[in-house]
Amino acid sequence: MEPIKFNYTVPGDDFTRAGEASADLKNKLKKMGITGAPVRNISIALYEGEINLAIHAGGGEITALVYPEKVELFLDDNGPGIADINLALQEGYSSATDEVRSLGFGAGMGLPNMKKYADEFHIESQVGEGTHIKMVVNL
Amino acid sequence: MKIKDIIELLDAENLTPELDLEQELHSACGSDMMSDVLAYVKDQAVLLTGLNNPQVIRTADMMDMLCVVYVRGKRPDALSLKIANEKGICVLTTERALFTCCGILYDNGLRGA
Ligand SMILES: Nc1ncnc2c1ncn2[C@@H]1O[C@H](COP(=O)(O)OP(=O)(O)OP(=O)(O)O)[C@@H](O)[C@H]1O
Ligand SMILES: [Mg+2]
């Protein structure tokens, strides 16, 4: 069966708009009759990714594919990339500036949270090229 | 505990008067770091914070929370209030500090994650 597809562009210059895509997808899933823990897991994992696009990557693209049994989430950016992915995945590791911290982010919990709330988590990153993340949440 | 009890206990002002104050709440968390809040889902219904930007309401929405309490007299901007009203998240503001608010609510039966 063909999945239902949603696309979002996350701006890199307006932090107040970060989270719009996650909120919209959450709404759409609810309207499709998908509820409970999977929706919350999708929402939190995508929101963390969306915030990362806004604060670390200068913006990016989100694609969500909704299948009857799972939702696939793709986050793609052409930002600075991540030099040491294993380090970035550790709880508490953050390169965030004081400015980002003053906005309530930079605890170094985003990628670990995404890994925790998604059933599958894949990340590829190249310094100077960008970062690509795929997450799968089973329904 | 209900939202109307929180208003009373914290001497709080309700900034979303159209929303329901009768919903039952059992669990809360207090933090200025949103990723910390997002790390521990345990059906928290209330977020207490000194942080003031739209991501506070977004975080509460992603966590399916029912109420956000801004401490130390913080007042959210128009965008935050607009999102809160859309999502049905009750927004309160109190002059009290975060630690004090958490203590009072804990004393009256709210629990953490
Ligand atoms: N899309 C991205 N592009 C470039 N670097 C990234 C990207 N996502 C994450 N990083 C790097 O990985 C680090 C860890 O990311 P993570 O989301 O876990 O923490 P954080 O964003 O710093 O803080 P938090 O998510 O708790 O607010 C970041 O500090 C940043 O250095
Ligand atoms: Mg992050």
Answer yes or no: are the C-beta atoms of B66 and B25 closer than 8 Å: yes
Q: How confident is the model at residue B44 (pLDDT cuts 50, 70, 90)?
A: confident
Question: Within 10 A of A107 (CB to CB), how many other CB atoms are there?
Answer: 23
CA-CA distances (angstroms) from residue A77 to A48, A128, A135? 14, 11, 15
Tokens of A52: 């990362």
AA identity, residue A130: G
Q: How confident is the model at residue B85 (pLDDT cuts 50, 70, 90)?
A: very high
- B39 and A15 within 8 Å at the Cβ level: the answer is no
Query: Which superfamily does CATH assign the domain made up of A4-138 to?
Result: Histidine kinase-like ATPase, C-terminal domain (3.30.565.10)
Within a domain: residue B36?
Answer: yes
Distance (angstroms) between ligand 2 centre and the Cα of A45 equals 10
Q: What is the pLDDT of residue A28?
A: 97
C-alpha to C-alpha distance for B53 and A104, rounded to whole angstroms = 9
By residue range, what is the domain housing residue B21? Answer: 3-107
pLDDT tens column, A86-131:
999 999 999 999 989 999 999 999 999 999 999 999 999 999 999 9
Task: Look at chain B and report how many structural domains it folds into.
Answer: 1
Tell me the whole-structure pTM to 2 decimals.
Answer: 0.95
- Average the pLDDT over B62-70 and give the result: 96
- Average the pLDDT over B68-76 and give the result: 97
Q: Find, among A123, A126, A125, the residue nearest to A134 by Cα.
A: A123
What average pLDDT does chain A have? 96
In sign, the C-alpha dihedral spanning B109, B29, B101, B1 is negative
Q: What is the pLDDT of residue B107?
A: 96
Within a domain: residue B113?
Answer: no
- A104 and B58 within 8 Å at the Cβ level: the answer is no
Mutate to test the pocket of ligand 1, among A85, A111, A113, A121 (most ligand atoms within 8 A of CB): A111
AA identity, residue A1: M
What average pLDDT does chain B have? 94
Q: How confident is the model at residue B42 (pLDDT cuts 50, 70, 90)?
A: confident
- Average the pLDDT over B70-82 and give the result: 96
Within a domain: residue B112?
Answer: no
Q: Which of B33, B62, B63 has its CB closest to that of A107? A: B33
Domain spans of chain A? 4-138
Nearest residue (CA) to ligand 1, atom 9: A52
Within a domain: residue B55?
Answer: yes
Please give the order of strands across the beta sheet that includes A59-66. A4-11, A59-66, A70-77, A130-138, A120-126
| In the predicted structure, residue B43 carries a pLDDT above the cut 90 | no
- A40 and B64 within 8 Å at the Cβ level: the answer is yes
Give me the long-range contacts of B4-11 (CB less than 8 A, separation at least 24).
B5/B108, B6/B46, B6/B67, B6/B69, B6/B92, B6/B105, B7/B92, B9/B104, B9/B105, B9/B108, B10/B69, B10/B92, B10/B94, B10/B96, B10/B101, B10/B104, B10/B105, B11/B94, B11/B95, B11/B96
Q: How confident is the model at residue A137 (pLDDT cuts 50, 70, 90)?
A: very high
| In the predicted structure, residue A1 carries a pLDDT above the cut 90 | no
Q: What is the pLDDT of residue B45?
A: 92
Q: What is the largest CA-CA distance in chain B?
A: 33
Q: What is the pLDDT of residue B82?
A: 96
In percent, the amount of chain A with pLDDT more than 90 equals 96
Q: What is the CATH number of the domain that holds B7?
A: 3.40.1390.20
- Average the pLDDT over A27-55 and give the result: 96
In percent, the amount of chain B with pLDDT more than 70 equals 100
Q: What is the pLDDT of residue B40?
A: 85
Q: What is the pLDDT of residue B113?
A: 75
- DSSP 8-state symbol, B27: B
